[in-house]
Structure 1
Amino acid sequence: MKFLFDWLPVICFFVAYKFAGMNEESAQHFINTYMSGVVSGGSVTPDQSPIVLATLIGILATVAQIGWLKLRGQKVTGTLWVTLALFTVFGGLTIYLHDEVFIKWKLSILYWLFAVGLLASDLLFKKNLMRQSMQEIIELPDLIWTRLNLAWALFFTFMGALNWYLAFVVFKGDTDAWVNFKTFGVTGIMFVFIVAQTVYLSRHIKDQA
């Protein structure tokens, strides 16, 4: 359930994009009727409607995530706040200008900010964010915590570059392919990375037993 909750905006974005893509005229009518005040020129073309509607749904899903956590008295992580801020800014530009370029950039910038945050916290403030988030679950030597923090920073750097390359080079002009990558490709790569991390850490956990 937590996995579905964490990925709620991505799932909602994907479903909304595919649904709008299969019903472009209806999506266009909805946007031009109810969202004319927040789109440049007051209207969008049928082919622009899927990304505009999906972006709106993605933003609302992220707001709903935060609202649900607040209602339950749970902590809203800095990561989620940053995600909402970037989603609102870059998603807002995509909606207003009905241009998918901005929402595509959002994913890369988000990953790069995560990478910078991990490195800056460790190097400048001597705070290992990976250790702070996982130390209640597992115990590891200091060196392994440092490696883990660096590994995630490099991973996010790579993912940001990969998203940029696929969005603006490989899938340039093919938003549908990029949406598929954003939903399934990112999830698959993240899963493989976490499995590899678990295998690596398990050796050191055993050593401490």
Structure 2
Amino acid sequence: MKFLFDLFPVILFFGVYRYGDNNQDWAHRMAVEYLGPLIAGGAVPPTQSAILLATAVAIVATVLQVGYLLARGRKVDNMLWLSLAVILVAGGATIYFHDDLFIKWKPTILYWAFALALLVAQVIYKKNLMRSVMEANIKLPELVWSRLGYVWILFFVGMGLLNLLMAFVVFRTDTSAWVSFKLFGFTGIFFAFIVIQTMMLSKYIKEEDA
């Protein structure tokens, strides 16, 4: 359930974009009606309507995520706060300037922000954030915890670079393909990374169970 909750804005972004891209008259009409006052000059380009609508829905979905957790008295993870800040800035700029450049940068900014947070915590404050998250479920030697922290840093840096490659090189003229990769490609890579990490740490898990 938490996985679906975390992916909620991304799934809605994908769904709204795909529907709007396939129904451009509807998308343009909705964008003019609801986003017109928020766009510089008030003109909504028909070709940008789907991405603008999808971006607006992703912003609302992320706000609702935070609001739901606060209303239930639950802790809002720092990563979710960071995600909210990035989508508000990048998404807001996308809508205002009616330019998908900003929303395409959003995953990279977010991944690199995660990497920077992990690096600063581990190098400057001597706190391994991945250890804080995982230590309740697995016990590892100190050296392994340190290496694992740096592996996650490199992973997030690599994901940020991959997004730039896909958004501005491979799918430079095909926003629809980038939107699909954003959901399915990144999710698949993340799961593959988790599986590989679990396999590499399995000997420690077995030792702990024994």
Counterparts of 1:172 and 1:64 in 2: how far apart (Å)?
Answer: 31
Aligned AA for 1:32? V
Aligned AA for 2:198? T
The residue that corresponds to 1:192 in the other structure is 192
Three-state SS of the structure 1 residue aligned to 2:28 is helix
Aligned AA for 1:177? A
Pair 1:61 & 2:61 matched? yes
The residue that corresponds to 2:19 in the other structure is 19
Aligned AA for 2:134? M
Aligned AA for 1:168? F
Matches for 1:107-126 after TM superposition, within 5 Å = 107-126=107-126
Contact 2:10 2:183 (8 Å CA) reproduced: yes
Contact 2:40 2:96 (8 Å CA) reproduced: yes
1:151-206 CA-partner distances (Å, limit 9, x unpaired): 11000000000100111111112111110110100000001000001111111222
1:72-98 CA-partner distances (Å, limit 9, x unpaired): 111001100110101000100101111
Structure 2 unaligned spans of 5+:
none
Pair 1:99 & 2:123 matched? no
The residue that corresponds to 1:176 in the other structure is 176
Three-state SS of the structure 2 residue aligned to 1:126 is coil
TM-score after normalising by structure 2: 0.96
Matches for 1:133-152 after TM superposition, within 5 Å = 133-152=133-152
1:45-89 CA-partner distances (Å, limit 9, x unpaired): 221101000000001111111111111111001100110101000
Aligned AA for 1:126? K
Pair 1:34 & 2:34 matched? yes
The residue that corresponds to 1:78 in the other structure is 78
Counterparts of 2:64 and 2:34 in 1: how far apart (Å)?
Answer: 20
Contact 2:138 2:204 (8 Å CA) reproduced: no
The residue that corresponds to 1:129 in the other structure is 129
Contact 1:56 1:91 (8 Å CA) reproduced: yes
1:4 Cα deviation from its structure 2 partner: 0.7
Counterparts of 1:102 and 1:34 in 2: how far apart (Å)?
Answer: 20
Aligned residues: 209
Counterparts of 1:187 and 1:34 in 2: how far apart (Å)?
Answer: 30
TM-score after normalising by structure 1: 0.97
The residue that corresponds to 1:163 in the other structure is 163
Aligned AA for 1:47? T
Three-state SS of the structure 1 residue aligned to 2:124 is helix
1:102 Cα deviation from its structure 2 partner: 0.4
Aligned AA for 1:81? W
